[in-house]
A and B are shown apart, each in its own frame.
Chain A
Amino acid sequence: MIKLGQRETKSLVVLHGWSAIFLGFLLYAVVATGTVAVLEEEIHHWTLGKIKPGNPLTGDVDKIIQILSPQVDPEFLEEIGVGHSPHGHLQLFFHTHRKKDNGQIEDYGVQYEVDIDSGEVLTERTGTARDIFQSEQSRALSRFLVETHVQLHLPNPWGLLLTGILGLAMLLAAVSGFLMHRHLFKDIFVLRRDRKNITVKRDLHTVAGTWSLPFAFILAFTGSFFSFAGSFGIPAMAMVAFGGDQEALIRTVIGVPETESDEKIATVNINTILADANARAGQYPEFASITHYGRGDAKILLFIPAAETKLEPIQYEYNGTSGDFIRQKPQIGIEPSIGSNVFSLIGPLHFGNFGGLLSKAVWVGLGFASCYVILTGFSLWIARRKEEKIWQTFERFTTIFGIGLPVAMLAAGVGYFFAISLSLKPTSMVPWSFSVVSVLLILSGFVVKNARIIKLSLLAMNAILCFSLPVLRLLTGGPFWFSAIENQNGIVMMMDLLLLTLGVFCIHQFINTARSYTNAVCENYISSDNASSERTA
């Protein structure tokens, strides 16, 4: 253990507390939505309900590309992204790279969703990759939750900068929490239930904080890296290392060839390349990127997700004209490197997606633990200052924020299903539901002055919404469990069960809170009754 002087330890306690008071609410919002965002894909599949099973890249992809490529603007053949749509169909994005007014490069082109079996074009959309992605109604709920986590719905780059700073605040809380505990390992097991209220609160905060300390450190570190790299890190490094040339940075980091050939040469049959990748990796790629289709310098890059026991996804690079296998490409750069290896660890460690559903479940559990640490920290801070009116108000709003944020997130889910049933746009209804409920809950803090009444009401709302969402899903055309499992979408049942379990947990918390509240009221009544009897006597 690191032994600090009494003066330093005292300073760290002050730092730990005040930094949490200033940034704790926002940090809680980022951590709570991040916990839910771990299940982004699962939430998406749950809201979709019906998904065409299987990987469309195992079908005749080449035939579809040959049919569609003569129909698109030749400029859009600069790159073709081939993957699967949210509904499980083949999705192709023929696009070019164009410069925005601010100098950043964006993808612009036409996207097709195609039934791989019949070859029928199901949807066709033209625009930037960002616009097309954001207009996908089926992703409205999962994307809203993720964007709340990533940039709190603030414009770029301010949202990323803020979440980056919040990541640093979390790092600060984790490191100061680690340094100021003299008996860290002993504290892991200390829960003194028979002591004073403040001691119990302190023990709960310390135990939960100590257990989730390594996790908090990892999340804060990786999260602030993503935020800062996305907001200013990459352009700033490009400015220094490449004199501001982002294209040169991309060439070095992604490894796009510098030699160009305009010569028209037919691109190799993509089906044979996909089959070759399957033979090498033991599974079909989930995404393919074909650059300069129909040209002499065509390249094909295939992406195969990491196997459940591996951290790094596989990328294979092929010559687009001869079909020759060039190399297995690291995530960054052309050759293997320490930088690429370390970078490969950052994503899985932050998203918890390295071991399938099991690792995601652990990450969600640890995310809940981190939320609990923040809320018990607030609770401990308030318990030490309960006599002051300002902290009583703070307690009320802490309750509203702590238990109200899940209510608002669940309300966003209700908004999604209402939009589906009323044929409205979920991309509008989801944020609208979240915002309206949030505003109403905050306003309720000015009207209802009793923090326990607020807590009981919010727990009841959480329970009701948790039980309502699976029902709403069914009422808006979602599949029953057996039907979903038949379509290889067992996530539907898993998410329903998770919501029902959370509903039961909220009822349990409601009963406990109501019981302690009733006991406190009875004790107050008895003591005041005794006092008045003594006065009468």
Chain B
Amino acid sequence: MNIFASGRFWLAGPVAFFLSIIVMLGMALWFPKGHAGIDNIVLPMILFPLIWAVFFFYAYLDRNIKRVALLFLTVAVIHISLLVLQFTAGK
């Protein structure tokens, strides 16, 4: 398969990387805080490499590239909305 022509290179490369960052940041808002109130900060950071690996291999291996793009877009929209709400709610 030609990963450049199908756009797979961009989805598995930079898009998967930045999406992992967005998900990590967004997780600070929906992940349970835990007894000490720190789980939502610490665990997303620890899980970041695994989140990236899941996105990367999914984008690289799924034959349906449109499905990958749609799923990535959905995840990105949900997390970006959460982040925007967090920063605009208090203003």
Contacts and interface: CB of A to CB of B under 8 A. Distances in A.
A343 interface: yes
Given A7-B1, A172-B53, A240-B83, A340 B36 contact: yes
B45 A234 contact: yes
A171 B39 CA distance: 24
A337 interface: yes
A336 B35 contact: yes
A179 B60 CA distance: 13
A237 B25 contact: yes
B61 A339 contact: no
Nearest to A229: B45
Chain A residues touching B, majority SS: helix
B45 A225 contact: yes
A225 B45 CA distance: 7
A15 B60 contact: yes
Interface residues of A, number: 43
A168 interface: yes
A330 interface: yes
B45 A233 contact: yes
A343 B41 contact: no
A522 interface: no
Given A237-B28, A240-B83, A338 B45 contact: no
Contact of A249 (B17, B41, B57, B87): B41
B5 interface: no
B39 A338 contact: yes
Interface in A162-182: 167-168, 171-172, 175-176, 179
B36 A337 contact: yes
B49 A220 contact: yes
A245 interface: no
A236 interface: yes
Contacts of B38: 252-253, 332-333, 337, 339-340
Contacts of B45: 225, 228-229, 233-234, 237
A241 B40 contact: yes
A339 B43 contact: yes
Nearest to B31: A339
A233 B53 contact: no
B71 interface: no
B75 interface: no
B21 A236 contact: yes
Contact of B29 (A240, A333, A336, A339): A240
B48 A252 contact: no
A240 B42 CA distance: 13
Contact of A171 (B28, B40, B49): B49
Interface of B: 1, 17, 21, 24-26, 28-29, 34-46, 48-50, 52-53, 56-57, 60-61, 63, 83, 86-87, 90
Q: Which A-B residue pairs are the 4 nearest by beta carbons?
A: A339-B42, A333-B36, A337-B36, A335-B36
Given A171-B53, A343-B42, 10 more contacts: A7-B63, A172-B56, A221-B50, A234-B45, A237-B44, A240-B25, A332-B38, A336-B36, A339-B34, A339-B41
